[in-house]
Chain A
Amino acid sequence: MSEQLERSAEITKLARLLDVPTDELAYLAEIPSSALARFREQVADRLFGGDAERLKRVAAASKLLPLPLAVKLAQLAFGPLLCAATAGLLEPARAAKLSAKMPVPFLADVATMMDPRRAAAVIAAVPTPVVVAVGRELIDRGEYVTMGRFVGLLSQSTLRAAVPAIESDEALLHTAFVLEDKDRLDDLLAVARDRVDGLIRTAHEHDMWAEALDLISHLDLANRAELGDLAAAQDDELLDSLIRTVHELGNWDDMLPVLMAMSPQSLSRIAELPVVVESTPQSVWDALVERRHDMPEPVRELIRDRALHLGRADVAAAMGGAAAPSRPRPRPGPGRSG
């Protein structure tokens, strides 16, 4: 299921790049997300790679202009598209000074038109307050795809300053879902720990469980455990909707590692939900049995007891005795830097 969501995110990003409605690319739904990502990079290279010589001249010549004049020319003469196209060719220190003098809406226009991969050094050099202000402007415009493309290039300290500027949990969830580099999700979580409860509630209230589950599946084990425990502490209605969504999406492949990383108390709470008691699919029992050796002993014991309670003696027997190895349960550490 996670793969299906990855495809959906990739198609959204490609549609944004081609400036067409997402529906117009529906026929790409069967192409794997990794292939879609490679194709999108090819398209970006085609769109952003043209005019190289002319752009190099612009960048080289702009070095000769005094800063105030360059700032004025950028806005009055070149406009956001030319600035976006040349951004990656500027010296990072010069680009940083220019950005600090330009109006935020203009910089946001530039951000939507540029290929961040071609300007990574420049983006890293932009002063944090400018990044924060532009990020806020992009969120106000609903430019989540643009935000997602930039977040992966920000340092952890800039990320720490930028995330609070995304005041809406829904916007943060949207941005995280289309994040270009989902390996940064653990870093993102490290600076948004105080938002997790709100994010969980937002996923519930805005019918975004599918997106949230996709994000959780990219986190490391300790963070999955923490999120699983926080989710399990929510009210029954929310938990019921989460598990029903997992049922409907057939998303147990992503959910099981979360369950197995939870504390036994949290797992027990999930196991007692009516939706679990009434309709745990056979595939889930099979998957639990298959992963029995990866479970900490208390979790295995709990599942064995629940299986017996639900009349699944076969599952209880297959879960085995206490001889199986147990692993220390990972716990979330302090915020990691990346």
Chain B
Amino acid sequence: MVSAMGEGTKDLPDAVGGRLPDEFEALSGEHRAALAGLVESAARRRADLMDDAIDESLRNLPGVLRGTVRRTLGV
């Protein structure tokens, strides 16, 4: 679990990549920033996990399969 308070460098619409439901206008600036931080943090975490998964997959792979997997992943 990661607290993202203070990490809200993007505005909330940027963080989710689109127009927010109108009702979210009611949130204070502080809460919008906190929520944007959480979304950014979750997206970063997921991207890191994906990269790790790919790295790990290549590391653990028997040499004979490594080429196949590299081609599969385009890396």
Interface positions of A (Cβ within 8 A of B): 17-21, 24-25, 27-28, 30-32, 34-35, 38-39, 42-43, 45-47, 50-51, 54, 57-58, 61-62, 65, 69, 73, 76-79, 81-82, 85
Contact = CB atoms under 8 A, between A and B. Distances in A.
Interface in B31-48: 31, 34-35, 38-39, 41-43, 45-47
B60 A31 contact: no
Interface in B3-57: 3-4, 15-18, 20-24, 26-28, 31, 34-35, 38-39, 41-43, 45-47, 49-50, 53-54, 56-57
Contact of B47 (A35, A39, A50, A69): A50
Interface size grouping (class) on chain B = 35 or more
A78 B57 contact: yes
- Majority SS at the chain B contact face: helix
B54 to A, nearest CB: 7
Nearest to A57: B74
Contacts of B73: 54, 57-58
B2 A20 contact: yes
A50 B43 contact: yes
B27 A46 contact: no
Contacts, number: 101
A82 B50 contact: yes
B36 to A, nearest CB: 11
Given A31-B27, A62-B72, A77-B60, A21 B21 contact: no
18 contacts: A20-B1, A20-B4, A24-B38, A27-B31, A27-B34, A28-B35, A31-B27, A35-B21, A39-B20, A69-B65, A76-B60, A76-B61, A77-B58, A77-B65, A77-B69, A79-B53, A79-B57, A82-B53
A57 B72 CA distance: 6
Q: Chain A CB within 10 Å — which of B35, B47, B61 has the most?
A: B35
Nearest to B56: A79
B72 A24 contact: no
Contact of B50 (A42, A69, A81): A81
Interface of A is mostly: helix
B42 A43 contact: yes
B61 A46 contact: no
Contact of B2 (A19, A28, A39, A45): A19
Contact of A47 (B27, B46, B65): B46
Contacts of A62: 72
A259 to B, nearest CB: 32
Contacts of A58: 72-73
A138 B46 CA distance: 21
Given A42-B17, A46-B15, A35 B3 contact: no
Contact of B39 (A43, A51, A73, A76): A43
Contacts of A54: 73-74
A33 to B, nearest CB: 10
Nearest to A82: B53
Nearest to A41: B16
Given A19-B42, A24-B3, 7 more contacts: A47-B42, A51-B50, A54-B73, A57-B73, A76-B60, A78-B57, A81-B50
A54 B53 CA distance: 13
Contacts of B17: 42, 45-46
Contacts of A77: 57-58, 60-61, 65, 69
Contacts of B41: 18
A17 B26 contact: no
